[in-house]
Chains A and B, each alone.
Chain A
Amino acid sequence: MGEMEELRKEADNLKDQITEARKVVQDTTLQEAVAGTTLVGRVQLKTRKTLRGHLAKIYAMHWGTDTNCSKLCVSASQDGKLIVWDTLTTNKVSAIPLKSSWVMTCAYAPSGNMVACGGLDNMCSIYNLKGKDGNVKVMRELAAHTGYLSCCRFLSDSEIITSSGDCTCVLWDIETGTEKTIFAGHLGDCMSLAVSPDFKMFISGACDFTAKLWDIREASCRQTFSGHESDINAIGFFPNGNAVITGSDDATCKLYDLRADQELITYQDSGIMCGVTSLAPSLSGRLLLAGYDDFNVNIWDMLKAERVGVLAGHDNRVSCIGVSSDGMACCTGSWDSFLKIWN
């Protein structure tokens, strides 16, 4: 037997052992645990603001988290602009022209001092919002990925994590513009990433239909979650950091428990046949807001796994969604070029 064949057998054997290990810790199912829980009443959120200004499809948005910018958000559009919005007044705090208009992701630093974006240019560009003369300028261009930049998230003003179509995720030192750690292991384009509430781990979703949990400092893949039948486009941490939520082209969202290392439940409905593009949990984690290719956002009761509401208002695909850090508002971004604030 060739070495490759031996390794393949060993890999399959290890996967079987992981499956067995998961069975050993299986406890009651989530369905059993919520048998006595009442379904949340119909959730109706209204559009409170429409942010107009982009001239093409919006691909990404991200809320500010620092108390100074918790009502601000940044959006990226293929009109070649990053816009920082004051969502209360709908004013544009900054409108940043990009070198490359093929942007696919954007992020707001937790400090509120910087934003980042990237896309088909394979780079992650960092912009300083608090420059001395008031002008927003490119601070760094992080280049090393050999595929498109699908997502980026700041750990701090000095570190950022990116995910790429080259199947890897990278931790960067923004100061020096260099790669600190490369997280390799996915067998398909990495589409999305999310950082844990304690900033020690991150999760990535990819076109190999799996989600991986990575230990940032140990630079290793701790766990791999399977089950989806198509690309995972969206991923997020459950608010307490103990579970992971994924959204896929297979039209479902899934909740995976990190400690038991297995799937808890799938959010699906025979009436939904289009892919999930984006997702965000509400503050308590009771609700899951998920954007779909059919222009809607479905609101799920995360415990009972039933739909309890819908956000209808966009005239094209909802490409991105986010809940503000205080849980008071949800922002959706769409290919129709508008962002909407709902609560």
Chain B
Amino acid sequence: MDEMDLPQMKKEVESLKYQLAFKREKSSPRHMVKWIEDGVPEDPFLNPELMKNNPWVEKGKCVLL
């Protein structure tokens, strides 16, 4: 990591002031858990029903060219 010079340091301080001003929210992880759990039935990697017609798997044994 490089040492900052004076202009960079000034910009870093300005940036930190701006970042401090960010309006943080008490965002409960429960919202994320619910969002994920609601989406699981539509997730092809977790719902085998969705992969019954897998486009990457050959249907028949041979392909007529």
> Do the beta carbons of A224 and B19 come within 8 Å of each other?
yes
Q: Who on chain B is nearest to A261 by CB? A: B24
> Do the beta carbons of B20 and A7 come within 8 Å of each other?
no
- Which of A14, A240, A264 sits near B13, CB closer than 8 Å? A14
> Do the beta carbons of B56 and A327 come within 8 Å of each other?
no
Show 7 residue pairs from A and B whose CB-CB distance is below 8 angstroms, ordered by the A residue: A25-B27, A33-B28, A33-B32, A37-B33, A222-B19, A282-B45, A284-B36
> Do the beta carbons of B24 and A21 come within 8 Å of each other?
yes
Within 8 A of B (CB), among A219-249: 220-224, 238-240, 242-243
Interfacial chain A residues near B39, Cβ < 8 Å: 239, 283-286
> Do the beta carbons of A28 and B29 come within 8 Å of each other?
yes
Q: Is the interface of B mostly helix, strand, loop or mixed?
A: helix
> Do the beta carbons of B4 and A187 come within 8 Å of each other?
yes
> Do the beta carbons of A33 and B22 come within 8 Å of each other?
no
User: Would A283 and B44 be within 8 Å (CB), given that A71-B55, A243-B32, A303-B33 are in contact?
Assistant: yes
A100 beta carbon closer than 8 Å to chain B: no
We find that the number of chain B residues with CB closer than 8 angstroms to chain A is 41
User: Would A286 and B36 be within 8 Å (CB), given that A17-B20, A224-B19 are in contact?
Assistant: yes
Q: Is the interface of A mostly helix, strand, loop or mixed?
A: loop
B12 beta carbon closer than 8 Å to chain A: yes
Quote the shortest CB–CB distance from A310 to chain B (angstroms).
14
- Which of A8, A29, A284 sits near B9, CB closer than 8 Å? A8
A88 beta carbon closer than 8 Å to chain B: yes
> Do the beta carbons of A302 and B25 come within 8 Å of each other?
no
Chain B 1-31 interface mask (CB, 8 Å, partner A; 1/0)? 1101010011111011111101011111110
- Which of A34, A49, A207, A341 sits near B33, CB closer than 8 Å? A34
Q: How far is the CA of A220 from the CA of B15 in the complex (A)?
A: 8
Chain B 33-65 interface mask (CB, 8 Å, partner A; 1/0)? 101110110111110001100111100000000
Interface size class of A (residues with CB under 8 A): 35 or more
Given contacts A15-B16, A88-B55, A222-B18, 20 further A-B contacts (CB under 8 A): A4-B6, A14-B13, A14-B17, A21-B24, A28-B28, A29-B29, A33-B28, A33-B32, A34-B29, A43-B46, A48-B54, A185-B11, A207-B1, A223-B19, A259-B24, A283-B43, A284-B40, A285-B36, A285-B39, A328-B51
> Do the beta carbons of A33 and B16 come within 8 Å of each other?
no
Q: Who on chain B is nearest to A329 by CB? A: B56
Chain A 202-231 interface mask (CB, 8 Å, partner B; 1/0)? 000001100000000000111110000000
Q: Who on chain A is nearest to B40 by CB? A: A284
Interfacial chain B residues near A14, Cβ < 8 Å: 13, 16-17, 19-20
Quote the shortest CB–CB distance from A202 to chain B (angstroms).
16
> Do the beta carbons of A286 and B43 come within 8 Å of each other?
yes
Q: How far is the CA of A33 from the CA of B33 in the complex (A)?
A: 8
Quote the shortest CB–CB distance from A7 to chain B (angstroms).
5
Quote the shortest CB–CB distance from A90 to chain B (angstroms).
10
